[in-house]
Amino acid sequence: MPDPDSGSPARPLISIVIPVFNEEQNIAPLVAEIEEALPLLSGPAEVLLVDDGSHDRSWEEINVARRGRPWLKALRFLGNQGQTAAIAAGIEAASGELIAFMDADLQNDPRDLPALVAPILEGTADVVCGWRAHRHDKALSRVIPSMIANSLIRVSLGLKLHDLGCTLKVFRRAYLEDVSLLGEMHRFIPAYAAAQGARIAELPVNHRERKYGQSKYGLTRIYKVLIDLVTVKMLNTYGTKPAYFFGKIGLAFFGGGTASLALVAYRVFVLGRTEATPMIFIMMLLYVASLVCFMSGLLAEINIRVLHASSGTRPFKISERAGFSQTREGV
């Protein structure tokens, strides 16, 4: 939609970011569905397909789909970097006041976007998350692990959301611009937004069975979610005051050591037992070892974030761009 005063394209209201990895059969129907849904939105939109180093013909299908669709843009990674990196690249390239995310596997319904955008435009929410109330996935490998992970996240982070794993979400741009996304952190973006004071809403969305391609998720991601959950909890709660966290752990260990000392003293001075017992040493050794491991991981995570923030490096490399103006090509 051109700007009548400037003659240049108007800034889109919403940018729709879609990570793509080996989805060649889904590209054409996906773009067609989005094209049907765009007129239902309350303003101009752009769609950014981020090819995460696909090994099939996804990039070729994206270029075919781009013909005659100036609102469709695309990025291509040199290699597979993961969904979080694809979302980070999409955020960086997006120009809309609102930024939405959805999957490329046709399980998300683009016709749900207007309903998710509405609360933000009405001023009642800053982030609206989709909730797959009726999922069409395998129970053992997808649904049950997701329910467990969502329960842990709700309790740990205090987010009153049913389905953080649903990619279909809409954000005000301001809550995404300074978010550093690494690892598998994309599912925790609402937690980052909440830490900045965002009002978060959740709406049921349509969820459909996958017709083409294979799911990229499974039981192997559970441990990643748990590790990232600990990291997000740490950064959200103690990111600006880590001494409080270390102090609490230190006091806990000091209390344990004091209790152990009291037990040994009781055995020696009250019961008269002087035989050596290695149990306390073994317990303390294990606890200290686990503490060292956890702290090393946390410090490494912080160092990586500082490195990317200070050096300007990014966890992805874009090999090709399509559909961007010359100004943005150089960004």
Nearest to 161 by CA among 188, 185, 138, 140: 188
Q: How far apart are CA 263 and CA 283, in angstroms?
A: 14
More confident call, 92 vs 216: 92
More confident call, 231 vs 141: 231
Q: pLDDT averaged over the chain?
A: 80
Res. 288: pLDDT tops 70: yes
Q: How far apart are CA 156 and CA 173, in angstroms?
A: 26
Res. 287: pLDDT tops 70: yes
Q: Identify the helix (H) or strand (E) that includes residue 158.
A: none
User: Using an 8 Å Cβ cutoff, are 88 and 58 in contact?
Assistant: no
Q: Which residues contact 299 (CB under 8 A, 6 or more apart)?
A: none
Count of residues in the chain: 331
Residue written as token pair 């040994």: 264
Span 195-209, pLDDT tens digits: 889 999 999 999 888
pTM over 0.95: no
More confident call, 253 vs 50: 50
Res. 3: pLDDT tops 50: no
Span 112-151, pLDDT tens digits: 999 999 999 999 999 999 998 877 666 565 667 667 776 7
Q: For the chain, how big is the Rg over CA atoms in Å?
A: 24
Span 157-177, pLDDT tens digits: 777 788 888 899 999 999 998
The sign one gets for the Cα dihedral 185, 159, 294, 278 is negative
Q: How far apart are CA 183 and CA 83, in angstroms?
A: 9
Q: How far apart are CA 235 and CA 144, in angstroms?
A: 27
Q: Which residues contact 284 (CB under 8 A, 6 or more apart)?
A: 256, 257, 260
